Amino acid sequence: MTDLKPSKEQNFRSRIKAEILEFFQLNEDTAWSLNQVHKAFAIRDRKTKDLFGDLLTELHKDKKLIRQQDGHYLADTTTEFVEGRIDHVNVRFGFVVVEGREGDILINARDLNGAIDGDIVKVLVWAKKKKGSDRAEGEVVEILQRGRAEMVGTIEIMPHYAFVVPSSKKIYGDIFVSKNDLKDAQHGDKVIVKITKWAEGERKMEGFVKEVLGKSGENNTEMHAILAEFGLPNHFPEQVEKAADAISTKITATEIKKRRDFRNITTFTIDPVDAKDFDDALSFEFLENGNYEVGIHIADVTHYVTPESILEQEAYLRATSVYLVDRVVPMLPEKLSNGLCSLRPNEDKLTFSAVFEITPEAKVVKEWFGRTIIHSDKRFTYEEAQEQLNSEQSAVISEQKSEEISNIEHQATDIEIEPKKKGRKKKVEEGETLTPNPQNLTPNFKKELTILNQLAHKLRDERFAKGAVNFETVEVKFKLDEDGKPLGIYQKIRVDSHKLIEEFMLLANKKVAEYVFNLKKSEPRNTMVYRTHDAPDPEKLKNFSTFAKRFGYTVDTDTTKISASFNELMHDVEGKPEQNILENLAVRTMSKAKYSTDPIGHFGLAFPFYSHFTSPIRRYPDMMAHRMLQHYLDGGEPLERASWEQRCKHSSEQEKMAAEAERSSIKYKQVEYMSLMDEGKVWDGIISGVTEFGIFVEITETASEGLVRMVDLKDDFYDYDRENYRIVGQRNGRVFTFGDKLQVKVKECNLARRSMDLLLVGGDEKMRKSKSKAPRGRESRHKSSDSRSSKGGKRSNSKDSDRRKRR
C-alpha cells in the first residue's frame, strides 16, 4: 500500500511557509524584498535562502502575497476566495451564486476553466471592478463538485464517431461519443449520456450513451427528456411500488377511536377538473351562536408513510410532485396519491385537520388541530363550484341533511376502503345499517359555498390591508390531442372558487405555524418547518421600477409602500397586453420563497409565521409539518434543528428543479404550437428584453417569447445602450426598448433548444428617434453581418408558484 502521509521534508516546508505568511500578515503595511526577508529570519546559508525564495514564489502563486514591480513582496489583504454554484447564463459569461452573499460574481467564459452550469466551484474574486460597474468579477480556480454526471441531448451520428448536443440551454459544448458506445441509438434520438471525461482546453467532453429516450420531437420522448435534464425521475423503483401495494386498505376500529369524527358533517372538495389527488377538503357547520365551524381537512399521508420506510425515503428524495404540461409525476405511488390518501367522495378517509370557529366577519375565535376521519359528500370542480356561486337559484337543498342520513350512527368497525356505488355510506363490515341516498336528493351546497366565499373575501381583504402582495400571474394552459400535440393555447382565468380554496388553505397554513411557534414561549422554541419569504432586494426593486416606467406605470420603492404599490400596478395592468410581462418581472423582483426552520415570516403574504400543511400528497415539507405538529400535540420537546433544516434545504432545491422542468415543458409546447402555425402569420408582440445580440419579444396572444436577432435587423447598424435597456440605430436613430409594441413573424422554431427566432414586421408609434445616440465604443455594435451566437440570453429566476397558486 502506498504511504500517503506527508514526508518530513514536506512538513518542514509547510511549517516554514506558514511562518513566512504569518510574518507578512503581521507586517501587512510593509513591502519586503527577498534579502530583507532573509535578514528578518536571520538566514545565512545558501540552501535555506533558496528554500525561502521558492516559498515566496509559491505564496505569490497562491494569491497570498503580491509581488510588486520592484520585486518586493506584500501581504495580499484584498484577495477573496468564495465557494458557490455556476449559473452559466450564456455562451460568453456566467455567474457564481454564493449562498448568503449579496450580488452574484460575474465570470467570463474564458475564466470558467472547465466549469459548467451547476458545478460547485472555488472562485478568486478580483480586487478591482470594471470602471462603471458595481458587480464583483472573478475566475474559477477549482472545481469542487460537478453538478451533473449525466446529460440529456440529441445524438448526431457521423461516419466514424458521434456527438450529443445537450438539451440544456446552459451547456454550450457538445459531448463526443465513440461509435462503440451508442447503445443502439439512432441519428436524431434523444439520449442520456454519462460523462467520462470533462472538457479541458480545446478538448470536448466525452461520454457514452446510458439510455435511449426515443426519437426527438415525439411527445413522450420530450417530456422524459425534460425530466431527465433536471434530474427528476419518471417512474418509481419496483420495491417502492411493492411497499405501497402492501399497505392495508382497512381503517380499523382502533384507529377510528383515536380520531375526531366528522363523517356526519357537510364536507366537500374543490379541485381542477383533471385532478386525481384530492389532498384537501372543507367541512362546514352552522353553530347555534351564529358562528360557523369550518374544517380544513388534509390527507393524513404520514399515517401510511412511516419514518425510515422506503416510501418515506422516496418521498424525501423527490420532495415534490412535478406538473408538466401533459402529465403529473407524483411524489407518492398511485395507490397512495390517487387512492388511499385522495379524499374522494363517498369514502371514509383519514385526515389531519385544522378546525376553526369563525364569526360572520371572518374572525377566528376558536381553533383545534388533530387527526380526524371524514366522509366527503361531493367532489366539485372549480367550474362547478363557481356555477353554484354564480347561480341565482334560491333553493338550497343541502341546508339540512336528510333526517335518515343525519341519524346514521357510525359504529367503530373495520371499514374496507373502496368506492361506493350507491348510498350515503360505503360497504362496511359487522352489519352496520345504511340508508340509501334518496333519488330526489341532489346536494348542491349553494348556501355553504356562498358563506365560505363571503368569508374568503373578508380574509383576503384583511391580508391586503396588512400588506400582502397580489401575486396573481397569467397561467398558460394547452389543449392537447391524444398524442400530446398542442391544438391551442389559452390563459387560465382565476375566479372566486379558486380564491375561496386558496384563502382557507392560507388560513390553515398560517394558523398551524402560529400554533407551533406560540406553544412554547421560552428558548429553545419549538422547531418547525416554515415557508419563508424575504422582502425584495432594494436594487432589484429599483430596476423593476425603471422597467415599469417604460410601460407608463409608477412603482414606489419606499419599503413601507411596496405592497400597496405592487397591488395597484397589478390592478392597472389587468387585461393589458403588457400584463404577463410585468407580472412575471414583478415576481422575479421578489425574493424566492423557501423552506426553513428559521421563522423570518412571509413578506408576500404579510404573515409573521407561515408553514405548508395542506398538500402532503405532493409536497414533502407538508409531511414534515404534519409530523412536527403531531409531536408537539403529544407534548414533545423541541426537535433538534440541524437535520430538519437540511431537509428544508433539500426540499427547496427540489422545488426549484421541478419548477424549471415545468417551465421547460410549457416553453416546449409553446414553441411546438408556434411551429404548427402559418409561417406567414403576423403576430402582435411586446419587447420583453434587450441584449447586445437582439431583442426578446413576447407574443401577446400565446405568451410565447422569441428573439429578433441583431443580424436580422437589416436597416442599420445598432448600438446596445446597456444603461437605458435599449438598442439604437446609428444612422436612423431608431430605438427599441422595453414595452415597445411590435409586429413579428416566426423565422424558425428550434424544438430541440425550445427556442424561437422572430423577424420584425412593423411597430407602432413608439418606434421613435433617439434624442442622443448611444456613445460609440462603449457597447457592442451590430449589423446584418454579425454572426455572434445568441445561446442563453436573459437570466431568469424561478417564480414561487404551485398548482393552485397556494403559497
Q: Report whether 303 contacts 515 (CB < 8 A).
A: no
Side-chain-facing half-sphere of 31: CA atoms under 13 Å:
8
Rounded Cα distance, 546 and 724, in Å: 9
Rounded Cα distance, 780 and 793, in Å: 15
Query: Any idea what the Cα angle at residue 604 is, between residues 601 and 610, rounded to 5°?
Result: 35
Beta bridge partners of 755: 750
Q: Report whether 211 contacts 235 (CB < 8 A).
A: no
Residues with Cβ within 8 Å of residue 217, at least 6 apart in sequence: 751
Torsion-angle region of 308 (φ positive above 0: left; ψ -120 to 50: alpha; else: beta): left
Residue/partner pairs of 51-58 with CB below 8 Å, 24 or more apart: 51/13, 51/16, 52/16, 52/20, 55/13, 55/16, 55/17, 55/20, 56/20, 58/17
Q: Look up residue 40 and give its amino acid.
A: A
Average pLDDT score over residue span 125-136: 68
Q: Look up residue 178 and give its amino acid.
A: S
Rounded Cα distance, 281 and 345, in Å: 10
As a dihedral over the C-alpha atoms of residue 708, residue 709, residue 712, residue 717, rounded to 10 degrees, the angle is 120
Q: Report whether 702 contacts 489 (CB < 8 A).
A: yes
Q: Of 63-72, 227-236, 791-800, where does mean pLDDT reach its minimum?
A: 791-800
pLDDT of 782 strictly over 50: no
Which of 616, 516, 596 is closest to 302 using CA atoms? 616
pLDDT digit string, tens, across residues 632-669? 999 999 999 999 999 999 999 999 999 999 999 999 99
Side-chain-facing half-sphere of 496: CA atoms under 13 Å:
19
pLDDT digit string, tens, across residues 674-698? 999 988 899 999 998 888 889 999 9
pLDDT of 777 strictly over 60: no
Q: Look up residue 201 and give its amino acid.
A: G
Q: Look up residue 314 and give its amino acid.
A: E
Q: Give yes or no for a cis peptide into 307 (omega within 30° of 0).
A: no
Q: Which domains does the chain have, with CATH numbers?
A: 8-75 (1.10.10.10), 80-145 (2.40.50.140), 150-216 (2.40.50.700), 239-400+413-427+442-454+478-512+609-656 (no CATH), 677-782 (2.40.50.140)
Got the DSSP string for 113-131? Answer: TT--TT-EEEEEE-SSPPT
Between the alpha carbon of residue 70 and those of residues 24, 33, 127, 291, 649, the distances in Å are: 17, 9, 21, 86, 50
State the cell numbers at 468: 400582502
Other C-beta atoms closer than 10 Å to the C-beta of 649 total 15
Rounded Cα distance, 625 and 445, in Å: 31
Q: Give the model's confidence band at 415: pLDDT under 50 very low, under 70 low, under 90 confident, else very high.
A: low
Which of 67, 60, 34, 59 is closest to 49 using CA atoms? 34
| Grid-cell match 420583453, residue found | 688
For position 441, what pLDDT does the model report?
52
pLDDT of 155 strictly over 60: yes
Stronger pLDDT, 679 or 806, i.e. the higher one: 679
For position 780, what pLDDT does the model report?
43
Burial of 756 (0-12, 13-18, 19+ CB in 10 A): buried
Q: Report whether 342 contacts 616 (CB < 8 A).
A: no
State the DSSP H helix or E strand holding residue 13, giving kind and residue range, or none if neither.
helix 8-26
pLDDT digit string, tens, across residues 254-277? 999 999 999 999 999 999 998 888
For position 801, what pLDDT does the model report?
37
Rounded Cα distance, 583 and 586, in Å: 5
Measure CA of the first residue to CA of the last residue in the chain; give whole Å.
Answer: 57
User: Among the ranges 50-64, 471-485, 641-655, 690-704, which has the highest mean pLDDT value?
Assistant: 641-655
Strand, helix or coil for residue 768: coil
Burial of 785 (0-12, 13-18, 19+ CB in 10 A): exposed
DSSP 338: I
Q: Report whether 353 contacts 372 (CB < 8 A).
A: yes
pLDDT digit string, tens, across residues 558-594? 767 888 888 888 888 887 877 877 887 887 788 889 9
DSSP 522: S
pLDDT of 373 strictly over 90: yes
Rounded Cα distance, 254 and 618, in Å: 28
Pinpoint the alpha helices (H) of 614-701.
620-633, 641-675
How much of the chain, in percent, has pLDDT values that exceed 90? 60
User: Pairing between strand 266-271 and 378-381?
Assistant: parallel
Residues with Cβ within 8 Å of residue 776, at least 6 apart in sequence: 719
Strand, helix or coil for residue 398: helix
| Torsion sign over Cα 598, 599, 603, 609 | positive
State the DSSP H helix or E strand holding residue 256, giving kind and residue range, or none if neither.
helix 253-257
Other C-beta atoms closer than 10 Å to the C-beta of 483 total 9
| Grid-cell match 446584418, residue found | 784
Rounded Cα distance, 185 and 172, in Å: 22
Rounded Cα distance, 107 and 82, in Å: 13
For position 764, what pLDDT does the model report?
46
Q: Give the model's confidence band at 133: pLDDT under 50 very low, under 70 low, under 90 confident, else very high.
A: low
Between the alpha carbon of residue 482 and those of residues 223, 272, 312, 486, the distances in Å are: 15, 20, 34, 10
For position 766, what pLDDT does the model report?
43
For position 325, what pLDDT does the model report?
94
Considering the chain, what is the average pLDDT of its residues?
A: 85
Q: Give the model's confidence band at 400: pLDDT under 50 very low, under 70 low, under 90 confident, else very high.
A: very low
State the cell numbers at 578: 403588457
For position 488, what pLDDT does the model report?
92
Q: Report whether 228 contacts 213 (CB < 8 A).
A: yes
Got the DSSP string for 147-211? Answer: S-SEEEEEEEE-SS-EEEEESSTT--S-EEE-GGG-TT--TTEEEEEEEEE--BTTBPEEEEEEE
pLDDT digit string, tens, across residues 458-467? 999 999 999 8
